[in-house]
Amino acid sequence: MPHDPLDLQNVLRDELEQRRVSGYDIGGVESEVGRALETGSSSAVLRALWRVEQTKHRAGWRYREPSTWEEIHGQLPPSPDLPRPRLDRWGLLDRLSAAWLGRAAGQRLGTPTRGWSHRQIPLDYTLLGLSVLETYGFGFETPQVARHWMEQLPVLQTHTAERAAYRNPMLGLVPPATAGWRNPYREWIGAQIRADVWGYVSPGNPAQAAALAFRDASLSHTGNGIYGELWVAALLACAFVTNDAAAAIQAALAQVPARSRFAVAVREMVALHAEGSGWAAAHQRMRERLAGYHWMHVLGNAAVVAAALLWGDGDFERTVGLAVQAGWDTDCNGATVGSVFGAMHGGSPLPAQVLSTLGGRIGGVVGAGPIAVDELADRTCALALGETGG
């Protein structure tokens, strides 16, 4: 089923669903939406969409899910103490190389089950983020991200929330309106898969990683969609200073509003693991609790990432395998856990038979062709150490 923000019928259908899972009272508009979709009349679709957009949260909705930086920070839990960074330049280079390689390998291992012919989306946005930092420095602003997309990223290589965020500036909208205007995909996984580079350049500093991630995420996402990028960026930052997956996951949650559905979903995986539950029980639990959400919604995919890292037992193939086996957005989740694993453990645990398929190079939308991983690690390390750009 297509989910194209350039198609008003798709937008109407998917906005109704987004509001349903987000606690809005849609009972009074469902029949009108059904009639509008059946007739296909543009005027009927637009009127029904306007009516859906006027709906309010049901009484008793217990979550608090802000989208502004100030409100998000007003709802963060206390930050746990983290070890100080101890990596020298060569150690950091090893972890960064492993993170880039783990991301590429995880994406490749997750792709066959999806069967899509699209480009390597999880790598495209990591390369774009690196380019943003090298072009604008650590002080980049969200409108500069939008401009960079338009200069570097073909519109037909964008999907769902990113395509809406590509469209909206051309309608004269500026962030954060670019994320919310007629974008039913604003809490899907798109921002979460753009998170990695902000963590790469912030080893041991999850707050900085989250701050960078917010300026990227708020171009295209709101609420839980933003939290996915904050959390993964912070998780990567934590991975450089601890190899305890549970500790890193919980420390990263300090960058996410505590009363959000996102925090609840991830905390539940941490609690199940701490209680000694097995992978099968955790997988069943996330499927039961999140069954009403689309497979590209951020909540299910964040739960998968957390669970795969927790039950992966420090083994790369098992960790990526669990992320893929769990379903939902398999190539993106495989890429994310592969990236975190590499940052956490370095290059030595990465299996040679998996890495041999990559040839030491990573391709994506930015640049004329595949880029050597050693070069990407050097460029990222230079930013992390303040040697260039930022």
Phi first, then psi: what are they for 372, rounded to 5°? -60, 135
Q: What is the pLDDT of residue 113?
A: 47
> How far apart, in whole angstroms, are the C-alpha atoms of residue 158 and residue 277?
38
> Topology of 70-384 in CATH?
ADP-ribosylglycohydrolase fold (1.10.4080)
**Under a CB-based contact definition with an 8 Å cutoff, are residues 197 and 380 in contact?**
yes
Residues of the chain with pLDDT under 50: 113-117
pLDDT in tens, 148-169: 999 998 888 899 999 999 999 9
Residue 364's nearest CA partner among 129, 166, 143 is 129
**Under a CB-based contact definition with an 8 Å cutoff, are residues 300 and 276 in contact?**
no
Q: From residue 260, give the alpha-carbon distance in Å to each of 111, 179, 225, 228.
A: 30, 19, 11, 11
The residue ranges of every structural domain in the chain are 8-53, 70-384
Q: What is the pLDDT of residue 218?
A: 98
Q: What's the mean per-residue pLDDT of the chain?
A: 94
First to last CA, the chain: 42
Query: Which residues are CB-contacts of 34 (< 8 A; sequence separation ≥ 6)?
Result: none
**Chain center to CA of 358:** 23
pLDDT in tens, 272-310: 999 999 999 999 999 999 999 999 999 999 999 999 999
Residue 209's nearest CA partner among 221, 222, 195, 220 is 195
Q: What is the pLDDT of residue 110?
A: 84
Q: What is the pLDDT of residue 207?
A: 97
